[in-house]
Amino acid sequence: MAKLCLIEREQKRRDTVKKYAAKRLALTAIVNDVNASSEDRRDARSKLQSLPRNSSPVRLRNRCALTGRPRGVFSKFGIARSKLRELMMRGEVPGVTKASW
């Protein structure tokens, strides 16, 4: 089980990314616009760099919904591999069966 502070920190990052998403999208559109003047692009780049670091979606980490484990998380289920295996063995995951041949 991951520390509660790490799970809460990740949730805080997700909220910050959501808060600044529209602003970040608008600024990146200006930076990538070839027809914009160089001053406008430079201003947009400086404003983009002045945004909080945690507003960048690259800093997000997928975590297990049950344990908070950061590695080995299946994105389809949102659960770490160890917990997913336990749930599958108990038959609690619909549509998944143990292979036998």
Convert the pLDDT of each residue in 25-50 to its tens digit: 999 999 999 999 999 999 999 999 99
Give the three-class secondary structure for 94.
coil
Q: How many helices (H) and strands (E) does the chain have?
A: 3, 2
Distance in angstroms (rounded) separating the CA atoms of residues 48 and 55: 10
**Could you report the per-residue pLDDT of 37-95, keeping only the tens digit for each?**
999 999 999 999 999 999 999 999 999 999 999 999 999 999 999 999 999 999 898 88
Q: Provide Rg for the chain, Cα atoms.
A: 20
What pLDDT, on a 0 to 100 scale, did the predictor assign at position 8? Answer: 93
- If phi > 0 it is left, if psi is from -120 to 50 it is alpha, else beta; for residue 79 that is beta
96: its two tokens: 């998944």
What pLDDT, on a 0 to 100 scale, did the predictor assign at position 98? Answer: 79
Is residue 15 scored above 90 in pLDDT? yes
Confidence of residue 96 (pLDDT cuts 50, 70, 90): confident
Q: Which residues on adjacent β-strands are paired with residue 74?
A: 79
Give the three-class secondary structure for 33.
coil
Confidence of residue 101 (pLDDT cuts 50, 70, 90): confident
Give the three-class secondary structure for 69.
coil
